[in-house]
Structures are given as structure tokens and as C-alpha cells.
Structure 1
Amino acid sequence: MSTKREQTRTRILQAAWQLFQEQGYQNSSTRAIARAAGVADGTVFSHFKTKLDMLKAGILVQVDTVVAEADRLLRANTPEQRLLHYASHLYPFYAECAEFSRELFKELLWDQQELRPQIQAFIDKLFADKPSEDDRLYGQILMDLYFMTLLEGLGERTCDSDRMLAQLGAKLDHMSRAQPAT
């Protein structure tokens, strides 16, 4: 059973996410979020230092849900197939929430330390939880491809998850055919 503090935090996150979707991230004030959650303004800040922290936490909850569904449907055998599988679930989420995603990644580009545990857990998923040292380096390369494709897609006027997925597939295909220089 969750504590009263956890329940309040959840209510704030749900209210924030709903307002972000209805009014947009920039147009949603912390005061409006507090009102929608039925808490005092100060209570919001006792749970989240900034509105961006609410966005991060809200997206993390949503991403965890998307990844759990992708885990349930996973049938891929190779790291590349697994990456494409997860991207086929995550890219549509990020495209649907393009405004929030842009805002989040704009901040996280300069504070990647915060994402490291999630990225490492994702790399572990790509290699069936047992990556070797070489796998870890290759996993980082795969994550570079994943995130650069995502950022390129989010940078477009209209974010198209199918196009992002096709680009990621083409990049992975090209890598698999590339021969090392001799």
C-alpha cells in the first residue's frame, strides 16, 4: 500500500500530465497543476523542484508503461532486432508527445548523467541481460543510433514515428553490411 505522500505525488503527476496534454507544457503553470491535483502550491514544490522535474517524472512513468508492453510482446533475437522492436513502441510515444519530448531532451542533452541508469538497463535488455564488455560498447553505439534518430525526428516540423523507425532500420542495415577497412 502506498503512503499518503506517494499518493499525493501520483495525484500531482497525473494532474500535470493531463494539463500538459490539454494546454501544452509551456502553458501549464505549477499553480494550475496544484489546483488540478487538489493540493497547495507549496505541496507541488515539496515533491518536484521544478515543472521540468514533473515532466521528467511524468514521461518516465509513461515510458515505463510503453516498455513494459514492448517487453510483453518481445520476440526479437538479436540486439538490432530488439532495438527496432523497442523503437517501434517508443518512437510513436515520443512522436505523440513531441512537445514534451523536445522540452525534455533539450534539457537532458546537457545532463545525460540523469539518464545513465535507464540507458544501461536498456542496453542490458538489448543483450538479454548479459552484455560482455564488447557488447556494452556496441550497445552504446546502438543507443547513439537510437537517440540521434529520435532527435532528428523530433527536430522535424511534423514528427513521424514511421519515418524515424525506417531511418533507424536503414542505419542498422547499413552497419550490418559495412566492412571494416583493411
Structure 2
Amino acid sequence: MITGVFLYLMGGYIRKYDPFKRIRAWVFIGIIIITYVFIYISNYNNVANMIQDYVSGGNNGIFYHNLKTYGNYSIVVMIVGVCFFEIFKRLRIPQNKIINYIGAATFMTYLIHDNGFSYSIWNTQDWITLLYYNPLLCLVKIFVWTLFFFGGGIIAYSIFIWCGKLYNKYKYIFLIDNK
């Protein structure tokens, strides 16, 4: 949670002071690609080493391994996040109330999904087996689950906005006006 707030604040700093303004957009795309190439090579080498250790240990059954994940505090996540932030910051998108509302709801979406309960829902699916046997279905399910969690964040943000309007409308009932 603290890392998320730090990244949120860092986004505000980047937006206000623009420390990367002299760097071309293709550099950020290249950094993202290089980062994912390193992730792929590292994951490939780790799995190859785990398989070699498994076989050399005398095991001959089915080999299972876990997918490597990166926490919010990981430098990989921060680098890729800053690169995507810079790329999207440079896009000139006209004003749109729907897009602005969805953009405003993203922080609430982060707060809603980054907890043990949401992770327990996510872990009800056996992602590795699904990825192995049906990669296309795995991508579709990830997309649907993403929409589900993002929709929950938008609903929570809408409730938050509604409660704020309700408070402003009826605060005279609860507060003394000291004029």
C-alpha cells in the first residue's frame, strides 16, 4: 500500500516537474521491451535450472513450477510503470468526461484490488494449467477478470463521489454553521 501511494505521488511529481521531457518516447518503449526481454531470459534460465535440479535430484514425475511474480515494490514494476506513464502522458487525447471519470477511478481501483481478499479471488483460478493447455482462453480470462476488478473500482469510486455529494447536500444537519 505504501509503495502504491509513493508511486501515486511520484506520478504527480513527474507530471508537475516533467523530469523526462527531453527523452524521446521511443526510448521508453525500448526500455519496456528490454525489461521484458530480461524478464523472459531470467524466467527461462530459472525454469531450466529448476528442471535440471529436479531431474538431477532423482525425481521423474511431473514437474510443477510457479509463475514468477513481481510485487508492487519491485524495481521492474516501477520502471515499466514510469515508462508507460511517460508514454501515455505524451499522448494528446481530447477532453472526454467518460475517459476523465475512468482515469479518476484508477486510484480507487488500485485501492480496491490490492488486498488479500482480491488476491484470494484471483487465486481461485489455476492460471498455470490454463496457460499451458489453452493460452487463448487464459488471455480472455485475464481480460475478463481485469474488467471485473476495474469495474469494481469504478463502482466504488462512484459510491465515493455519491457519498461526497450527499454529504455536501445534507451537512447542515450534522454541522453548525459558524459564520
> What's the TM-score, normalizing by structure 1?
0.31
TM-score normalised per structure 2: 0.32
Q: Which has the larger radius of gyration?
A: 2
